[in-house]
Chains A and B, each alone.
Chain A
């Protein structure tokens, strides 16, 4: 081994002084005749071009950010104690130390590259207005009561009453009008203030403050669904100011995604800007997020639905504080990594218990599979989406690190008791979600060509994105028909990847006869994070009988472990976590993994998709950091160790 390296180094040094092909044997016969190495050397100089950017038009590093952050402008965030607004949220994202709503000093380990402050369009800025005693509100006895509760330190109780009222449609009228009609002066001036905060923080090339909001539809018939979407604009403040955000209450808005898409189309027509939407928390929709038949309307989705969904919603957020939306163990019994930060008690407010038949229509992997089936029936795949992660934090703090987790809401900021609080409780159904179940996740990684609003938006539209549960690992994923094993040795895998294939989020079609589909997969650990356990390719397809199938392949594993003939490595990577001290060591796992993987079961006649999941070695969960810091012991049911991960957007193959 040592010798090989020395030889390689020696050869490389020698080659510095010589034309590049001089040492090679002449290239064999071909149609162009014999190539004269010396002549060729002149055309392909040995020296790299002076400008390092010459010949590069692909993104060289992923940008990390959060597309889903709430501040006090979100009603539920405010009622749960958030006192920080969009300006504070952006300062924190840029790496500044700030003081949290509970008076704790807090800072990110390193700045984010971009941030979208996405407050709920419903009830937008009502909280600051309610807390400040907006006279119009105080005339209403219910609002008055809520204001008193909040001023009396019962923010959480107020929140529960408010969410219940919102779900039951019994919010006080004045609040409904002021919080749901974006044309009201109070609403509009707050919306413009939020835009201005981003405009002031936006520094093209260094930090991007995206513009947008969250449309929070809880439509769902008898119980609250969860059809939430983040809406993101491509352009600048000038166009965003022309938009009155879409809300969910009639007559100003609507809870039907079809109406959101109409709103998006109208916005584009009016401003000539562009806009996209990102769905999230399908896992709390009780089967309503990725329907084939909408359970609450009883209608089968049609071609128009599929076309619009495909057009307006290129991405899905699959990891965040309220659990994982990738895959469920009941749907993927052969995937032992699927049981990760799962929330399957019920819907958003656990007013309705989860039933097994709902799962298929709320997790991303099954939706991607059903999308293949629907494409055959409708001619369009409504669920051809890429993947990102986000925090959905309601503290104005985009904290997704286990060691630096500031909770879902301000009342869940670090304290010795936060883990045992109820996140949600329904005594009638005896359903409960504990606060320790909240997940310190996640971030969006975007392969944008530069750090600007437009470039990030464009990368999102082409689905060149991946989700992480918090760590900033680098993941490359290219698919094509010409990758060969040697490509994994390339110094610049991206160059080979873009030349020979399509990146994550892309499409492949018409496989050349006799060739299988192959992928160049590369993952690099977070420079300040944990090593990697394994890299997996997850394949979904529609079989000959029109049935959906899935399979997990381990394609690279650390520590010289064996991948068996069935494509799986059954040896766990091990565990170095010292739970009482909340530490681990990088003595197992690998820093970097690159491989070319060819699908051994590829059938060019079948529709399929492939995405990559990168798994880190075990590290302490935020509950372990809490236990250590506060010197507390949590019961056995509380997990102390996790294996964080990244999920890429799929590459689709269509015959």
Chain B
């Protein structure tokens, strides 16, 4: 039962029925649909005056109000005659507008329900990659410039590596190797931050190294590096509380698309669609909501 209560279609039908009733109540005292009779009610006149006041920050003068009401009547006459002549048919703009109004209704329904933590957690787990917190590294790097070492690059690198490992953790390696305009030492830097400065392959390679010893060489866009990782924070999927806003936003978006589609599919059931010269239209594919993180 609970499930059914949450169904967007049910919401739509209920809301639609409610709208129908309310509309009926509101509309009826207004311009009656009886052919040949137009009644502008007090309520409508007040509404016209209020709209004017909102735009111009003052109430309309009696002349202005009379003009607005005349214009309203003119619109109503044209509207009815145009509908009678079927001018609304085959009009892309009107059709699109009506389609949009229908979509607004189904979107409104989707927006009604406040998601529970269980729902959000489930959504987050299903789209874990979008919310995962990146691994971070605290490390030092010593750079060797291939242009300077030419064919001795490998030998020089291995020599330096051996010397560094002999010196160990205490070694101040900031003056070793060749100079490069990036920092020698990085503190809790994320893989994307490291990637933007050394290139992606360097950042990827870093995750494969063991902390607590000089290792390498690993390649960057500039040459080769020897690296000492002193600390590595693994990437993780955060608790919902940390990213609730983002998950909620994405969940809502996915839900909106889903509701639109479900709604449409239900409506589509009432029709048999034949397109001459083409195969019968299949059920449209579900749009895939993509998380926005």
User: CB distance B196 to A524 under 8 Å?
Assistant: no
Contact of B181 among A13, A524, A529 (CB under 8 A): A524
Q: Write the nearest CB–CB distance from A367 to chain B, whole angstroms.
A: 30
A91 to B292, CA, bound (A): 7
Q: Which of A91, A144, A590, A591 has the most CB of B within 10 A?
A: A591
User: CB distance A151 to B172 under 8 Å?
Assistant: no
User: CB distance A135 to B97 under 8 Å?
Assistant: yes
| B179 on interface, CB distance cutoff 8 Å | yes
Report how many residues on chain B are interfacial, defined by Cβ distance under 8 Å. Answer: 49
CB-defined contacts of B292 to chain A, threshold 8 Å = 87, 91, 200
Contact of A133 among B93, B159, B190 (CB under 8 A): B93
Interface positions, chain A 84-137, Cβ under 8 Å from B, are: 87, 91, 95, 110-111, 113, 132-133, 135
| B156 on interface, CB distance cutoff 8 Å | yes
CB-defined contacts of A32 to chain B, threshold 8 Å = none
Q: Write the nearest CB–CB distance from B132 to chain A, whole angstroms.
A: 13
User: CB distance B181 to A60 under 8 Å?
Assistant: no
- B74-97 vs A, CB cutoff 8 Å, 1 = contact: the mask equals 000000000000000000111011
User: CB distance B172 to A5 under 8 Å?
Assistant: no
CB-defined contacts of B93 to chain A, threshold 8 Å = 133, 138, 144, 147-148, 151
| B186 on interface, CB distance cutoff 8 Å | yes
Chain B residue, CB-CB nearest to A46: B172
A53 to B167, CA, bound (A): 23
Chain A residue, CB-CB nearest to B223: A591
User: CB distance B199 to A528 under 8 Å?
Assistant: yes
A642 to B152, CA, bound (A): 34
A91 to B246, CA, bound (A): 13
Contact of A2 among B152, B166, B182, B197 (CB under 8 A): B152
| B236 on interface, CB distance cutoff 8 Å | no
User: CB distance A525 to B221 under 8 Å?
Assistant: yes
Q: Write the nearest CB–CB distance from B271 to chain A, whole angstroms.
A: 23
| B192 on interface, CB distance cutoff 8 Å | yes
| A43 on interface, CB distance cutoff 8 Å | no
| A9 on interface, CB distance cutoff 8 Å | yes
Q: Write the nearest CB–CB distance from B66 to chain A, whole angstroms.
A: 21
CB-defined contacts of B180 to chain A, threshold 8 Å = 524, 592
User: CB distance B148 to A12 under 8 Å?
Assistant: no
| B234 on interface, CB distance cutoff 8 Å | no
Q: Give 20 new A-B contacts, CB below 8 A, not counting A61-B182, A91-B292, A590-B147.
A: A5-B149, A6-B159, A9-B163, A9-B176, A13-B167, A15-B175, A48-B172, A51-B187, A60-B183, A95-B192, A110-B192, A132-B100, A144-B93, A151-B93, A200-B292, A527-B197, A527-B202, A527-B221, A591-B145, A592-B181
Q: Can you give 22 A-B contacts (C-beta < 8 A)?
A: A1-B148, A2-B152, A9-B160, A47-B170, A48-B172, A60-B183, A111-B192, A111-B196, A132-B97, A133-B93, A133-B94, A138-B93, A144-B93, A200-B249, A474-B182, A476-B181, A491-B174, A524-B180, A524-B222, A527-B197, A527-B221, A590-B147
**Which 7 A-B residue pairings sit nearest by Cβ, starting from the closest?**
A527-B221, A133-B93, A527-B199, A524-B181, A52-B185, A133-B97, A52-B187
